[in-house]
Amino acid sequence: MRIAMFCSGLLPTPPANKGKIIHAPLHLTDVLASEMAKRGHSVTLFGAKGTKSKAKVVDLNLPPLFNHPQIVDSVDLKNHNVINFYEQLFISDIYRRAAEGEFDIIHIHPVDLSINFAVNCKVPTVFTLHDPISRWRHFIYNIHKTNKNIYYVSISDSQRLPLKDINFIDTIHNGIDPGRYPFNALPGDYLLSSSRLVPEKGVDVAIRVAKRTGLPLKITGEPASDTNSYWMEKIKPEIGGKISYEGMVSTQSMFSIYKNAAAFLFPIKWEEPFGLAMIEAMACGTPVIAFNRGSVREIVQDGRTGFIVDDINGMVRAVKKIESIDRKACRRHVEENFSLQKMVDKYELVYEKILK
């Protein structure tokens, strides 16, 4: 198969930061492109300069947008048209080449920026959805739901619930290589919270749980700026004593933090589409205690690889009985259900099904 892939032009694929930038879609794209190329497919990966892959790389001679400090420092990138413009430089080139017959199938992650290109292309497009289906996305996807040349992959079944009637071809959970994650049967006594430092991740709840149980808590995550009110008001004042903020850490350091934690806390306040950190923790043998929202029930086996709870009181009770969880069962669960190999197999089957 001749496959075109694209995730982002904001950073190279994978991010050249020794693991310090959390961008699950970029890492997924990196792995998928390389693995498909290893299997003999002709894969073209589009990405900013610095992108490295076993697949053929097309960078359009464009540096990562985040390498332009004059732009990054002067605009709110989450709301500014500069991102859309930059990403669509890559997207438009993909569809131009597709129209000229270069590809059999296109796999793109930023669906919102690409869907109008895909509608008028004879080459089928697979979109992996990474975000919750909000009301405005519901509106956009509904416009094109009768188009039979657009296919959606959800990363959890729960992600589909707001919009069940578009052309979902499969649910494919994100996968990791368990062999990279060191297993530890004898952890320390601290709790762990690792996420973006935003309200929906519930780090403030993790702090309250740690204080009520008397256990140390380690927090890792994206650097919080002084303009982040959640960080300034809810997190930073609590740092000290048994509550430590480790900042952004390298991949190797994160492995050590995962494997030595007694439990990984995931007190989310939103409908998390997947939650990669949960499988990373379990791969190291660390059980997960999570609120019953979003994809949690698809990832954590309640009472076997951790505990699924409804509120902070339930989380406190779960921490007190965490030693009842077999850490080997946590590792085995990831190996059997969330391996990189299984994820790639399922994507390959999706491509084949579409092209039959």
Annotated domain spans of the chain:
2-175+340-355, 178-337
Query: For the chain, give me the number of helices (H) and strands (E)?
Result: 14, 13
Residue 179 CB neighbour total at 10 angstroms: 10
Q: Two tokens at 83?
A: 């991102």
**Does CATH number 3.40.190.10 belong to domain 2-175+340-355?**
no
Whole-angstrom CA distances from 291 to 130, 172, 283, 318, 330 are 20, 22, 20, 11, 18
Dihedral sign, CA of 58, 64, 70, 71?
A: positive
Q: How much is the pLDDT for 137?
A: 82
Provide CB contacts within 8 A for 15, sequence distance 6+: 21, 23, 26, 27
Query: Residue 304 burial by CB count (10 A; 0-12/13-18/19+): exposed, middle or buried?
Result: middle
Whole-angstrom CA distances from 24 to 79, 92, 113, 127 are 21, 23, 18, 15
Cβ atoms of 273 and 130 closer than 8 Å? yes
CA distance linking residue 64 with residue 13, whole number of Å: 10
Verify cis geometry, omega within 30 degrees of 0, for the bond prior to 12. no
* DSSP helix/strand/coil, 348: helix
Cβ atoms of 13 and 47 closer than 8 Å? yes
Cβ atoms of 125 and 114 closer than 8 Å? yes
Q: What does each of the 356 residues of the chain score in pLDDT, given as a tens digit?
A: 999 999 999 888 877 654 555 578 888 999 999 999 999 999 999 999 999 999 999 999 999 987 766 666 665 655 567 888 889 999 999 999 999 999 999 999 988 899 999 999 999 999 999 988 888 788 888 888 888 899 999 999 999 998 878 899 999 999 999 999 999 999 999 999 999 899 999 999 999 999 999 999 999 998 656 568 899 999 999 999 999 999 989 889 999 999 999 999 999 999 999 999 999 999 999 999 999 999 999 999 999 999 999 999 999 999 999 999 999 999 999 999 999 999 999 999 999 999 99
CA distance linking residue 299 with residue 277, whole number of Å: 11
Q: How much is the pLDDT for 270?
A: 95
Bridge partners (DSSP) listed for residue 105:
3
CA distance linking residue 52 with residue 286, whole number of Å: 32
CA distance linking residue 193 with residue 163, whole number of Å: 31
Q: Two tokens at 127?
A: 């979109």
Cβ atoms of 108 and 114 closer than 8 Å? yes
Task: State in Å, rounded, how far the first CA of the chain is from the last one.
Answer: 12
CA distance linking residue 246 with residue 237, whole number of Å: 15
Cβ atoms of 187 and 281 closer than 8 Å? no
Which residue carries 């991102």 as its tokens?
83
Q: How much is the pLDDT for 68?
A: 65
CA angle 16, 28, 220 (to 5 degrees): 60
Angle between helical axes of 135-143 and 111-119 (0-180°, round to 10): 10
CA angle 73, 75, 76 (to 5 degrees): 110
Bridge partners (DSSP) listed for residue 107:
5, 126
One of 3.20.20.80, 3.40.50.300, 3.40.1160.10, 3.40.50.2000 is the CATH number of 178-337, namely 3.40.50.2000
* DSSP helix/strand/coil, 27: helix
